[in-house]
Structure 1
Amino acid sequence: MTTKEYTACDAVPLAENTHGEPLPPYPTCDDSMAPECGPGTMRFLNVADGELVHHRFLIVHGLVSGQKGCEGTVVVHHPDFSVLEFPTVDGYFKALAHLDRGANELRFEYVKDGCSTGTRSLVVLMEPVADRSPLQLAVFVGSDSDETFDAPPDARGPGLNDLDAAMRKLRCCAYLWQAFVAEQMYRHGFGRRTFSLEEELAPDTMGDDGKCRMTARVHVVRSRYTVAEIRSLEVVHQWHAPQAGAEPDPGKLLHFHKEDIWANPAFGADCAVACLTLDSHWDPDLQAILGHVAGYQPFVARKVSTFGSHTTHAWPASAAEIASKFLDTTPTDTRILANDAFESDEYWKAANIGIGAFFHMTSYLLSMGVTSQGFFSRGYKHFSRAFMAKTPDHTGAVTQAGEGLAYLHRTNALGIRHDRRLAMPGDPPFTTFSSEATVEMTDGGVVVSSRASVIVIEVRANNICHGHLEYTAENWDRRKSGQLAATPDEAAAMFPSRVTISRDRLLEMAGEVADNTSISLLVCLRGVASITLKVLGTLAEL
């Protein structure tokens, strides 16, 4: 079969969105969406040629027309990086593309039945964002550790389940987090905004060519605590002590991490560190994951999130492994490996739960929190759907509409839109102080005020978000013009420090709930890693 160059037919232009509203879902695999594109035409659905981004790995969605009922492979070629392969279903694909600083001339090749049927080029510009605090990565190791983590017998040994392997897997994990946030923020109309990772010039394990590149740095934190102390039942997370025994205190294990990280000169006074506990271990007799705490401490200058290494065996260690790890249906042998949350009975599920739940903990360091829907409502069990057009738990192509709960809730996107660690060139400056919000009941409703700027207010019923108000740079013009309901204070300032919610509007946002329902407000502030939760009372009391 002769290989051809696909024509530049972008039948679905990228949506213009300056309002900060979620973009509509990308087109499905239905070829009728673009009748002017003939069979075999490749188009990119979420990226424009010449687009500028600010992170290293970009999720690209695409479609090759006329492939309904067919499975194939898309091969991503980069002039200075190893090729990457991802599955296609009905011609639809998702692929991760590596980007270097500057102009990246990518070439996407569609392969079906072992034959290349055509290629399409895409130029993406990448410029890292300077002068903002990065997320740092660390592997936490006991003072007497043997520097290995749990793995099946066929994946043990040097480079497989040792400290080096853990560092490579954590690095790959973090780049997946970064790419996921960028794509989600784009969908919410905030551009491809994401956090930076601390990077250094070093041999790059994300590829298989051994070249030195700017790549995520992973610190090794040698703890003052022994493996026995780290694995003590007194600090275990997912275990219930016998009735006669003392209840475990997983907060103590988080304290171990904080102590050792805060004492380490590699981490500054204003750091955010995602820390993988190497010495966590599944004990089948106790049915407990020892040395594991899914923990975080966000509201201090030195922020820490922690997670155990009990699912790390299932994580990819390089970009080339991502697709195969997310498709690996090998059963989890609970005689030697943990089935975390009883949702990790196959390796691909263990990868989703481990990588996703770890990011859940880390998200608290980036002004995100628990939501009743989406990724942080255990949606990370669908994490692989954000990167793959094919997953073991989905029939047909995993289009954007089929990604399940693998999405950022709107309130999470609003929280990180104005987090300092995701700041972009051209953003208004941040205030230099931190502050809590004050919530006051009045005869007419509620007044929320703060020295810092109010970004989002959630109205919660029994602690479940029933509605929210948002104040972003993107909707300021509409507040000023009256297109969005706003008081004079809310319309006068891009980021208001005073928000008034009338009683009628509060009740409307709470919805139809019982009179004894507890109504509360959750307030997020711009550039301030703190959240104010104020219980207003029951619906009847309002």
Structure 2
Amino acid sequence: MNTKTSNNICLTNVVDNEIFTYPIILLKGCIQNANNDKSQFLIKHISVNNNYCDTSLWTIYNNRFKVIIELKIGNNKIIFKYGEDLLQIDVIFKPRTTKYTVSPVYVICADHDGKFQAPNNYDNSVEIACKKILLGSKLIQMLTAEKMDEKGFGKKTFYMETECQIIKSSLTRQMVFNMNPEKLWQHIARELTANQNSKNRKFLAFLSCTYWDGENLHGHVALGGGGLALFGTGCLYTWPSQLKEVLQCFTNMKKVDTNVLLDDSCFRGNFGGCFSTTLGSVWHEIGHTFDLGHTKYGIMGRGFDNVHLTFTLDNINMAQESISNRKRYIVCIENCINNYKAKEDLSNNNSVNNKTNLYAKSDECDTTTNCWSNGCAAILLFHKWFNSYDEEKSNGPHYVVKRNLLTSTKGLKVVQLRRDDGFVTHSWEFLRNNNKQTFILPVQLATIGTTIVAEDSNGNILKHSI
């Protein structure tokens, strides 16, 4: 990517007059003449149209910096100042026009006040919960764009609705505690889609009543597929409610008292680890609503535990505690909504998820890195939630079982073979072929998988049992 420099200040992931379709952006760069590793520089963010001006201080580490800013609609002037060095750029926030949206939701049980579990003297109100959820959703929106850009596809991401809905469920807390995650997902899905057209809407929902009693976790769910990603709020207490708190929350090494609070930190035992793992888990689950399966590495593997690495500068994973007598709870991410035929419009997007990408091309990342596999990135590149396609009727890909043949008049872009337990055994991407209308599944591979997944250039997706 081209960089814009002024004296010693250099940006590496943003250019002057760049247009963003999402509000929170990440600015990365370096300052060549930084005096020491802990020196700071000034950021001034000005939006004339919105009569807005804000200043903030950011730390330099090994001459590098990372800054997160929430843009205002229209032109945004960003000024970097370090000593006598100045760099000024303009960036534009222009939300994408699309009917395909993601809606953040806070689900409150019929007999619950909506307060999520949190430490004593902590604001755990419904209002704060919604602020945390909306901010976390925006961070995931930005993370998705950054990781697409790293794959060379530009900063493509989904459109996030600007308010967090509050939904009162018919379920009581005890009913939730007694339901298995799949049944709970099904019930919430029906409630969210009742009396409305949800064909073009996906929901990112959080349950308010998740409760850790010191030994067991109640009312937790981590499931994504179709039109719904549903998650518990056991660690919502570690999430920020304001943008200025994001870095503080990622680097918060306060130990979790597991006698009274859930520790879902991948054995790190601290607030920052909980925030990183759970934000990453939500990112992972919403990926399943976009028809992604598991991969061996990266976001759709266990790389989501380390979301903090995108925001921090030292690139060192949070120190894990040694195994002790502390009470621990490992949240198993159950993403498989394979057999449930969701009613209403959720069935149109139902996801078949997978545990690992066994035979796909090697991913350019490891287990400590957040990235998309080639197959995941290719699916998102053409996905309806990531584009503004003109309305047109299209039948999408078609599979001829007897011939192991896939056809598409719109051009095939991605083909994946998945087993009935969700494992992706093969993934093919046809990004350079603008009109690949046929694909023959090698007969020797037909017995490895039981589901074939295909996407065409208009984002139409086929899932067919073989």
Q: What TM-score does the superposition give when structure 2 sets the normalisation length?
A: 0.79
Q: Is the 8 A contact 2:254 2:271 kept in 1?
A: yes
* 1:389 alignment counterpart: 313
Question: What residue in structure 2 maps to residue 409 of structure 1?
Answer: 373
Q: CA deviation at 1:471?
A: 2.4
TM-superposed CA distance for 1:194, in Å, is: 0.9
Aligned pairs (5 A) from 1:40-439: 41-67=8-34, 70-79=37-46, 80=52, 82-110=54-82, 118-154=85-121, 156=122, 160-198=123-161, 216-230=162-176, 232=177, 234-235=178-179, 249-263=180-194, 265=196, 268-285=198-215, 287-288=216-217, 290-298=218-226, 303-340=227-264, 342-343=266-267, 345-390=269-314, 393=317, 404-424=368-388, 429=390, 432-433=393-394, 437-438=398-399
Indicate yes or no: 2:2 matched with 1:13.
Answer: yes
The aligned residue for residue 211 of structure 1 is: none
Distance between the aligned counterparts of 2:213 and 2:374, measured in 1? 39
CA–CA separation in structure 1 for the residues paired with 2:167 and 2:128: 15
Change (3 A) 1:368 1:13: same
Matched, 1:499 2:428: no
Higher radius of gyration, 1 or 2: 1
Q: Please state whether the residue corresponding to 2:100 is helix, strand or coil.
A: coil
Do 1:372 and 1:464's aligned partners in 2 also have CA atoms closer than 8 Å? no
The offset of 1:377, in angstroms, is 0.4
> In 2, distance between residues paired with 1:53 and 1:334?
41
CA distance in structure 1 between the partners assigned to 2:53 and 2:129 by the alignment: 22
Shift of 1:94: 1.4
CA offset at residue 380 of structure 1?
Answer: 1.0
- CA distance in 2 between counterparts of 1:88 and 1:439 reads 57
Please say if residues 437 and 532 of structure 1, whose CA atoms lie closer than 8 Å, have aligned partners that are also in contact: no
Note if contact 1:356-1:381 (Cα within 8 Å) is conserved in structure 2.
yes
Partner Cα separation in structure 2 for residue 388 and residue 346 of structure 1? 16
User: Aligned pair in 2 of structure 1 residues 180, 440: CA closer, same or farther (>3 Å)?
Assistant: same
Aligned equivalents of 1:463, 1:146: Cα separation in 2: 38
Kept in 2, the 8 Å contact 1:367–1:529? The answer is: no
With over 3 angstroms needed to count, the CA separation of the structure-2 counterparts of 1:258 and 1:394, relative to structure 1, is closer
- Select which of 393, 403, 414 maps to 1:456: 414
Helix, strand or coil: the match of 1:252?
helix
Amino acid at match of 2:24: F
Q: Tell me the alpha carbon deviations over residues 480-528 of structure 1, each in whole angstroms, 9 at most, x when there is no partner.
A: xxxxxxxxxxxxxx2433123667xx88xx9xxxxxx946774331355
Query: How much identity, in percent, do the aligned residues show?
Result: 18
2:225–2:291 contact (8 Å) kept in structure 1? no
Distance 2:53 2:304 in 1: 29
Aligned match of 1:470: 429
How has the CA–CA distance of structure 1 residues 532 and 141 changed in structure 2, closer, same or farther, with 3 Å as cutoff?
Answer: same
3-state secondary structure, aligned to 2:228: strand
The code of the aligned residue for 2:201 comes to C
Offset at residue 180 of structure 1 (A) = 0.8
Aligned length: 415
**SS across alignment from 1:340:** coil
Greater shift, 345-354 or 123-132, is seen at: 123-132
Q: Which ranges in structure 1 are unaligned for 5 or more consecutive residues?
A: 1-11, 15-33, 111-115, 199-215, 236-248, 477-493, 511-516, 536-542
Indicate the RMSD between aligned Cα atoms, in angstroms. Answer: 3.3
**SS at structure 2 position matched to 1:131:** coil
Report SS of the residue matched to 1:71: coil
> Which shifted more, 270-279 or 182-191?
182-191
For residues 389-425 of structure 1, the C-alpha deviation after alignment (integer angstroms, 9 at most, x for no partner) is: 2466279xxxx9999321122211111111111114x
- The one of 396, 400, 405 equivalent to 1:447 is 405
Q: Write the distance in 2 (CA, Å) between the matches of 1:140 and 1:251.
A: 16
Unaligned runs of 5+ in 2: 47-51, 320-363
Are the equivalent residues in 1 in contact too, given 2:132–2:241 (CA < 8 A)? yes
**1:168 positional shift:** 0.2
Q: Is the 8 A contact 1:327 1:391 kept in 2?
A: no
Distance in 2 between residues matched to 1:141 and 1:529, nearest whole Å: 34
